[in-house]
Structure 1
Amino acid sequence: MSTHRPPDRPAGTPGGSAPPRTLAEDLRGRGDDEIALLLRARPDLTTPVPVDLTQLATRATTRASVARVLERLDRFTLQVVDAAVVLPDGFAYEALCELVGDVPQLAAAVETLRVRALLWGPTSSLRVVRTVRDLAGTAPAGLGPPLAVALGATGPSRLQEVLADLGLPPTADAVGAIAAMAGMFGDHKAVAALLTQAPPAALEVLDKLVWGPPTGSVRGADRPVRADEANSPVEWLLARGLLVPAGPQTVVLPRELALVLRGGRVHRALEPTPPDIATTPRDPQAVDAAAAGAAFTAVRQVEKLLELWSTGGPPVLRAGGLGVRDLKRVAAALDVPEAEAAVWLELAYATGLVAGDGEPDEQWLPTPAYDVWRARPVAERWAALAGVWLETTRVPGLVGTRDDKDRPVNALGPGIDRTTAPEVRHALLGRLADLPPGTSAPAADLLADLAWHRPVRTARLRSELADRTLVEAELLGVTGRGAIGGAGRALLNGELNTAAEALAPLLPVPLDHVLLQADLTAVAPGPLVVELAQELHMAADIESTGGATVYRFSEPSIRRALDSGRTAADLHRLFATHSRTPVPQPLTYLVDDIARRHGRLRVGAASAYLRCDDESVLSELLADRRATGLRMRRLAPTVLAAEGAPDAVLSALRTLGYAPMAESATGDVVVTRPDARRTPPRSLPPRVTGEPPAPSASLISAAVSTIRAGDRAAVSRPRGLGNGEAPAELPRTSAAETLLALQSALADRRPVWIGYVTREGRATQRIIVPLGLEGGYVTAQEHTAGELHTYPLHRITGVEAVDVADAAADTETGADTAK
C-alpha cells in the first residue's frame, strides 16, 4: 500500500458517484480553482476561450497542445507518463506505484499530470489521455507491444504449439491461449523457472532487448519453430513465445516479459529529483563589483559602437544583416573578438537602438531611440539592455554558424531567432538565483539541472544555447564571477527600476573634467558625463581605453569639430572649462592654426568648383602634382573647376593637407554634423515566439466564468420542460419583466432562455449569458455560436429562467475524444 497518495476528487459529475466516463465529465466535476489551474498551466487553451467544458476537453486533447505541455514536464514526471502509458486505462494508483516505485515524489507527479488534464479520473480508476498514448509511440520507455498485440496475427494452431512448448494446457480459442501465455509471462517465478532452461546465448539476446529497443533482426523470423527443432538461441526463444515475430526478418520482445525481466519497473534508473549542483561560495560584494564592472563595460561598448556608426554605418545586405567584413571591422574598432562584437550588435538591435535607414542604398544607423537612451543614467541604460536580452529570442552565439540550408548566419540578419531562448535564460539564471547570494556553479551542472527540468526541449538545444547564455550573462554583468549579482536578481524578477537602483551605487560617478597633456592628449580618469563625452568624441579620437580613457587631438579631429559647426572659440572654451590641468600651448596652437586655414577654400557643385579669396592658394593647388587626378582648371582668379563630386573633392583636398569647407548653391557654408545621422523612428524588431503569452489572472477568471456559463447553457433546459425540448411557443414577458430578468441574469452571470424576433421577422429561441446591458441593447454570449452578440431589447419577446440543477444529471454533451 502506498504511503504517499495524491488528493482525490469527487467522482463523476457534481452530485454523482460513478467515475467520469470522459475527460469532459472529469472537468465538470472540478471546481473553478482547478479549472483556473489548468488554464494557467496550459496557456494555449485560452486562445480563444473555449465555449464550454466539452470544447475545453476537446482542445486539451489535440496533438499540438499535448505535445506542448509534455515539453514542459520534468524528467521524473515524464517517467511517470511512460509508466502510465504502459498500464491499461482504469488502473489504480497502486499499480502505478509498482511500476515506478513508492517514492514521495510520485504523488506530486500524478497531481501535476491531473492538473494539466493528461491524467484524469479518481485514484482508483486513472486514465491517460489517448493523445499521450499516441505520442508515446509503439515502444514507450523502450518496451515492446503487449503480448495480445504482438500475437494478434498468429494463427490458433501456432498458438497451441507455443502453449505446448511452454508446458501449458491447451485452450479452446486464441484469446484463451494468449491470456494463458500473458499470465505465465507476468509471473516472476514462472519466468525465472523457464529461463533456467535457456542456453546462455539466449539469455544474452534477452539482455540486449530488455531495456530497448525491443526489436531485433534475424532471418526467417516468421518461420514456425518447435522447441525440439530449435537450433539457435533465437529459435529457442521463438519456439516458446519469449520472442514474437514482427515481420519476415524482425522479432520483438513482448511487454509483459520485458517488465518481468526489468524487475517489475519501467525504467532502469529512477530520477525523482534533479541532479546535485556543485557550488562555490564567493564574496557577494566581490560578485556585485565584478558584475557592475561588466555592466559598465557593456554600456560603453554599445555606446561606442553606435557612435562609430553615427556618421554613416555599413550597408545592409540584400538578404538582411551585416556583412562578414563589416563585423570584422566592428570587432577591430571595439578591440574585442568577433563573437563578442556580435553580442553588442544584436543587443543594440534588439533594444531598438540601431536599424536600417530604409533608403535605396540602405545603411545601418542609430535610431532616434539611441539619443533618448544615451541621455539616461548608466544604470538605467544597462537595465534597458539587460531586460531586453533576457526576453529576446535572438541568439548572438549563432552568428558565424550555418543554417539548415548551409547558408551563413549573419549578425542583425534573419535566422537568428530561437523561441526557447528566453525560457533557457530564465531557467539557468533562475537556478543560479535560487542558490545563496554569491554562490556560483559549474556550467555542466546547470545544464544537467536544466536537462532534468526540461528534458524534451534540452535534447533539441543540446548544450550550445545554455553555454552561450552563461557567457552572455557574464559579459552583460547579469552575473559576476559565475554568480548572480544583486542587480541580476532584481532583473530576473522583472523589476528593471530596482535593478538599476541596485547597480547605480556600484558604478563610478561620471566626471565633468579631463586632464590635458602637452603631447596633445586628454586623459579621462573615469567615465565622463554625456555632454563632455560627446564633445570630446567630436574633437578627438579615442586612443586607448581601460581604467582611464586617452583621447588624441590631431589635425583631422580638430577639423572634424570645425566641420560640425564648432568655432575655435568654442573649442578653447571647452578645454578651459573642463580641464583640471592648464591648457597646453601646443593644443592652443593646433586649434588656432587649423581654424585659420579652415574654410578659406570652398568647394561647391559645378561638377565641383573651388573658391578662395587668396589667389596664391589656388595657384599652389594647381601646381601640386598630387592633385592632378582632380583635373582642375582656373575659371577666374579666385575660382577653380574640378571634375568630380563635391564630397570626393573635399576628401581628396583634406588628404593633401588642406582644410576646405563645403558650400551650397547659394554660397552658404554647409555644416555637417557627424552625430545628426539617424534612421526614421523604428519599432522594436519582432519577437519570434511559438508560445502563447501567459494569461493574466483577470483573463483566467473571465475565462472560467465564460466556460462555466457556456457549460450550464449546454446542459440546461427551460424550467419545467423535459429533455431540453424547446417551449411550444416563445416566452412572453412584459418589457419591465424582461429588463428585470436580464439585469438579474447579468448580475449572476446566469444563462437565460429568450424569445427573439430577427430582422426578417423570424421567431427564434436562444440560450444566452448576458454580459452587458446598456442603451436598449443587451450584449450576451450565445452558447450555440460561442460568440458575442448584441440584441435590441425591443426584439426580445420574453425571458424564461433556465433550470440547471435537474438537467445536469441527465443531459450529456458530445463524447470526449480523450475517452
Structure 2
Amino acid sequence: MAEVQDGTTAPRTLAEALRNRGDEGLAALLRARPDLLAPVPGDLTQLATRAGTRASVVRALERLDRFTLQTAEALAVAPDPAPYRVLLGLMAGDAGDPDAVAALPRAVDVLREQALAWGPDDRLRLVRTARELLAPSPQHPSPTGLGPTVAEATAGMSPGRLQEILQAAGLPSTHDPVSAVAALTALFTDRDRMAALLDEAPAEALAVLDRLVWGPPYGEVTANPTPPVRWLRDRGLLLPATMRTVVLPREVALHLRAGRAHRRTEPMPPVVMAAREHRPQVVDSTAAGQAYTALATVEDLLKKWDQGGPGVLRAGGMSVRDLKRTAALLDVTEPVAAFWLELLYCAGLLASDGEADERYAPTPAYDDWLDLPAARRWAHLARTWLAATRTPGLVGGQDSKGRTLSVLGPDLDRGAAPEVRRRVLDLLAALPPGAAPDPETVLARLAWERPLRGAGTGGSDLRARLARWTLMEAELLGVTGRGALAEHARALLDDATGETAVALLAPLLPEPVDHVLLQADLTAVAPGPLRRPLADTLSVLADVESKGGATVYRFTPASVRRALDAGHTATDLHAFLAAHSRTPVPQPLAYLVDDVARKHGHLRVGAASSYVRCDDDALLGEILADKRSAPLGLRRLAPTVLASEADPATLLEGLRTMGLAPAAESAGGDVLVTRADAHRTPPRTAPGPVPDGPPAPDATHLGAAVRAIRAGDLAATVVRKEEAAPRTPGELPRTSPAETLATVQAAALTNSAVWIGYVNADGAASQRVIAPVRVEGGFVTAYDHTADEVRTYPLHRITGVAELADEAT
C-alpha cells in the first residue's frame, strides 16, 4: 500500500478516500451532488460507485466553473496519479502564472469535495469516468487540444521504426521498444534538448507545428509527404495515427506551449460591468410604475376573458392566431403577450375550463388575487416568475421532433430557468444601487460559472438565452427599472415571503381613488387607479376609450343597456354617477340613461321557439319589414306577437343589432335580468416547476443520510470475531437456527451489537449491524445501526449471526 508524504496510508480507491472523510465532508459531497441521494446509498462503496457513474459525473462536470473545469481537463491529460507540482505546471506553465497558482488549490479542493478527484497531493487521481469524458481520442479530441502521449501514439509501432526515430533524433539505439519509448519521452520532456532539436528544424516544419500545437493535434498527410512533414515524422515530432493522419505527441505540444495545458487559463471570473448609473430613487419609481402597468395588463387581459377566452388546441396550448389576437388586445408584441400568458398560467390565475368546448378562462384564484392590495398582487406574480420553469421565450420555436412550440402548450419547461433567473438578479444585486449592467458582461460571467451548461438543440446556448429573457422579463414585471435592480426586488431575493418587498413597493404605487370626473361629451376621466367596486361597475356602464396616466371611459347606448341587463335600474345608475363624480352629472349623460331605460324591456322575447310580443303592433310591422330581420325567421302570430325560428338569445342579439332594446321574459311573463356573471374554471392547482434534477437536501435530510451511510458501511465492512479478517463483500453470515437464537439472546442480555444477514419478504438480502433489545415470540426487536432506528425482525428470516470484533464495536 502506498505511503503519502506525511507517513499515513494513501487511499487505494475512491471508497477508501470517502471513508477517511468526516461527516461534514460527506455532507458537503451530498449537498453538491444531490443526485447521489436518490435513493440513499447503502454504504460508502455504493456511494463511490454511484459517484463514478457516467450520468452523475456529467451532471457534476456541468456544474463546475471554467477554471475548475480546466483543472479537471488538465488532470485528464496528466499522468495517473499526478503529483500536485505536475498539475501546477500544466495550469500555470513554465512561467508560473501567479493568478493560476493562487486559484489552483481552491479548484483542487472543489474537485475533491465533489468526489471528481481524490488522493493526496502527491497522488492526485481524477475519477476514471471523468478522465474518459475529458481525455483525448481521435473521435473525441481533448478540450485542451492535446493529443496522445508518445507511449500511446507508438503502441504497435515496429521496433525497427522506433530505432530509426531515435537515430534521426540523435539518440543512441536501445535493445527494446520500451526503453526506446522512454528515451524519446525523456527527450521531448527535456526543455533544453528539445529546444536544441527544434533549432535544427526548417522554418516550414515549425509552421506545421504551430498549426497543430493548440489543437486539434491531428493532420492529414499524403503517401508522399512534403519535406517539412517528413523531417518532423522522421524525428517522432509527428507520429502516425492512421494510414493518412499524423498526430502531434502530447509531450511535444506541451514543450511548444511552455508547459501549459490550455492556451489561456481563466482563474478569475469576468467582472460584471455597469453600463449606466441612475439615482436609486429614479430606478425604484420607474420599476414601481412598470409594476403597476403589469398589474393593469393582467387585469385587462383576464377581464376580456371573463366570458371565456380562446380555445385549447388538441395537442394543448393556444393557436398562433389566438396569440396574435391577444397581442393586439394588449397592444404588445407576441413574445410579450406569451410572457404574460405563461406567467398567469404559472401563477394559477389562468387555466383551461375542461368543458367539451375547452377554452381558457380565469380561475377562482384570480378573484381572490384581485382582492389583495396591489403590492401583494405584484409580489405573488414576481415570486411565481422567479420559481417558474415555464419558458415563454421558446414559443414559436421547435421541439426535438420539429413541432412548433405553442404558448401554454407542452414542452416549454426548462429546469435551468429558475437558477439562471436567480443568478442574473444576484449579479445585478451585487452592483451599486441604481447601476444597470452591461448585458454582455452578465453573459460572460454566466458562461464562466457554468461553461458546460445550456448547450441546447442545434448547439445554441440555452443558458445565454435564458439570461437575455430574464433581463427583458424583469423590466416588464417591474423587477428592474431602467435596467437596474429596484430596491423592492432586492428585498424579494432576500425574503422568500415577500413581506419586505411588499412594504417597500406599496408606498411607490398610486393610491386607488373612489371618484371620476364626468364630462359633457359623455366621457368620464379616472384620475388614477379606481377602487375595486367602482372599477367593476364603471367597466359595465362604460367602455374604456384610452389609457395612460388617467383612464378615459365613454358612455354609449350599448354600454348603458349592458348595465341595465346586468340588473341595475335607471335610479341605481343616477345614484351611482352622482355619488362617484367630483363634477355634476352632465345633462346629456342623464338623458342617455333615461332614454335607454325607457326603451329597455319595451320588447319582450321568450321561448316558444322564441317569440316577440309588443303592445305596439306598428312597431312589430316595422320589424317584419326590416331586411335585417330575415335571418331571424320572424312571422306574425297575432297583432302583438311574432314567432321566430331562432333561440331566445339569438333573437335578443338580432333585435339589438337593429337598434332596438328588447328584454327577455320568463314563461310567466316576468322580465328576466341577465346578469354578467364571469365565467370561471373549476378550482385549479397552479403547475409546479419541473426541477432540474433532484432538489438540494436540507440539513435534516443530509444528517439522516450521512448516519444511514455510515451505519451501512459499518455493516458492510465489519469484522467477524471468529474470522479476525475482513469478510468477502456480499457474503451473508450462516449459522444454525439454534445458534442464531442463542447469539441474539446473549447480545440482548449484554447490550452488545451483532452482525446479521437478513432476507426480507421480497427476497432481498442485506447485512445489518443490530443491538438486540428483546427476543420473544420468534421475533427480535433491536436498534438497527444501518437504518438508525428500532426495528423488529422475524428470526426465521435471519440467515446467520456473528459477534463483532472488539475494535468494530
TM over 0.5: yes
Deviations 1:561-611 (A, max 9, x none): 222222223322322222222222222222222222223323334443223
* 1:82 equivalent in structure 2: 73
Instruction: Select the residue among 420, 423, 426 that pairs with 2:419.
Output: 423
Aligned AA for 1:269?
A: R
Change (3 A) 1:797 1:454: closer
Deviations 1:456-485 (A, max 9, x none): 115532632221110111111111111111
**SS in structure 2 opposite 1:59?**
helix
Deviations 1:204-259 (A, max 9, x none): 11111100111111223xx8xxxxxx752112211111111111211111111111
Deviates more, 1:269-278 or 1:407-416: 407-416
- Alpha-carbon distance, 1:799 to partner: 12
**SS in structure 2 opposite 1:730?**
helix
Deviations 1:697-752 (A, max 9, x none): 111111011111111111114556534565665344699987787xx78xxxxx64
* 2:118 equivalent in structure 1: 120
* 2:730 equivalent in structure 1: none
* 2:270 equivalent in structure 1: 275
Tell me whether 1:263 sits opposite 2:258 in the alignment. Answer: yes
Deviates more, 1:459-468 or 1:182-191: 459-468
| Contact kept in structure 2, 1:719 and 1:800, CA below 8 Å | no
| Contact kept in structure 1, 2:81 and 2:124, CA below 8 Å | yes
Change (3 A) 1:260 1:807: farther
2:52 and 2:422 map into 1 onto residues whose CA distance is 28
**SS in structure 1 opposite 2:611?**
strand
* 2:377 equivalent in structure 1: 381
Change (3 A) 1:735 1:397: closer
Change (3 A) 1:106 1:794: closer
2:429 and 2:325 map into 1 onto residues whose CA distance is 37
Instruction: Select the residue among 284, 287, 294 that pairs with 2:283.
Output: 287
| Contact kept in structure 2, 1:44 and 1:65, CA below 8 Å | yes
Instruction: Select the residue among 344, 348, 365 that pairs with 2:344.
Output: 348
| Contact kept in structure 2, 1:716 and 1:802, CA below 8 Å | no
**SS in structure 2 opposite 1:358?**
coil
* 1:485 equivalent in structure 2: 486
Aligned AA for 1:261?
A: L
Alignment of 1:578-593 (within 5 A): 578-593=580-595
Alignment of 1:56-455 (within 5 A): 56-101=47-92, 103-138=101-136, 139-140=141-142, 141-220=144-223, 231-279=226-274, 280-455=276-451
* 1:550 equivalent in structure 2: 552
TM-score when scaled to structure 1? 0.89
Instruction: Select the residue among 601, 604, 617 that pairs with 1:602.
Output: 604
1:545 and 1:476 map into 2 onto residues whose CA distance is 19
Deviations 1:295-314 (A, max 9, x none): 11111111111011112211
Alignment of 1:748-759 (within 5 A): 752-753=754-755
* 1:6 equivalent in structure 2: none
**SS in structure 2 opposite 1:142?**
coil
1:210 and 1:127 map into 2 onto residues whose CA distance is 26
- Alpha-carbon distance, 1:506 to partner: 1.1
- Alpha-carbon distance, 1:319 to partner: 2.0
| Contact kept in structure 2, 1:738 and 1:798, CA below 8 Å | no
* 2:613 equivalent in structure 1: 611
2:131 and 2:431 map into 1 onto residues whose CA distance is 38
**SS in structure 1 opposite 2:268?**
coil
Deviates more, 1:166-175 or 1:722-731: 722-731
Change (3 A) 1:341 1:759: closer
- Alpha-carbon distance, 1:807 to partner: 5.1
Deviates more, 1:172-181 or 1:768-777: 768-777
Alignment of 1:334-733 (within 5 A): 334-459=330-455, 460-461=461-462, 463-493=464-494, 494-663=496-665, 670-718=672-720, 722-723=724-725, 724=727, 726=734, 730-732=739-741
Change (3 A) 1:362 1:427: same
**SS in structure 1 opposite 2:524?**
strand
- Alpha-carbon distance, 1:629 to partner: 2.2
Deviations 1:536-563 (A, max 9, x none): 1222111111111111111222222222
Deviations 1:769-815 (A, max 9, x none): 589999999587696xx89995268989999896376359xxxxxxx
| Contact kept in structure 1, 2:277 and 2:435, CA below 8 Å | yes
Instruction: Select the residue among 25, 43, 63 that pairs with 1:34.
Output: 25
- Alpha-carbon distance, 1:97 to partner: 1.1
| Contact kept in structure 2, 1:516 and 1:584, CA below 8 Å | yes
Change (3 A) 1:794 1:162: closer
1:237 and 1:506 map into 2 onto residues whose CA distance is 74
| Contact kept in structure 2, 1:733 and 1:797, CA below 8 Å | no
Counting matched residue pairs gives: 778
Aligned AA for 1:383?
A: A
Aligned AA for 2:116?
A: L
Aligned AA for 1:630?
A: L
RCO higher in structure (CA 8 A, sep ≥6): 1
**SS in structure 2 opposite 1:247?**
coil
Change (3 A) 1:654 1:692: same
| Contact kept in structure 1, 2:280 and 2:486, CA below 8 Å | yes
2:409 and 2:391 map into 1 onto residues whose CA distance is 11
1:695 and 1:411 map into 2 onto residues whose CA distance is 33
2:538 and 2:788 map into 1 onto residues whose CA distance is 63
Aligned AA for 1:213?
A: P
Change (3 A) 1:202 1:787: farther
1:245 and 1:797 map into 2 onto residues whose CA distance is 62
Deviates more, 1:710-719 or 1:192-201: 710-719
1:485 and 1:666 map into 2 onto residues whose CA distance is 62
- Alpha-carbon distance, 1:396 to partner: 1.7
Q: Which runs of 5+ in 2 are unaligned?
A: 93-99, 456-460, 728-732
Deviations 1:82-104 (A, max 9, x none): 11111122222121111112521
| Contact kept in structure 2, 1:291 and 1:480, CA below 8 Å | yes
**SS in structure 2 opposite 1:169?**
coil
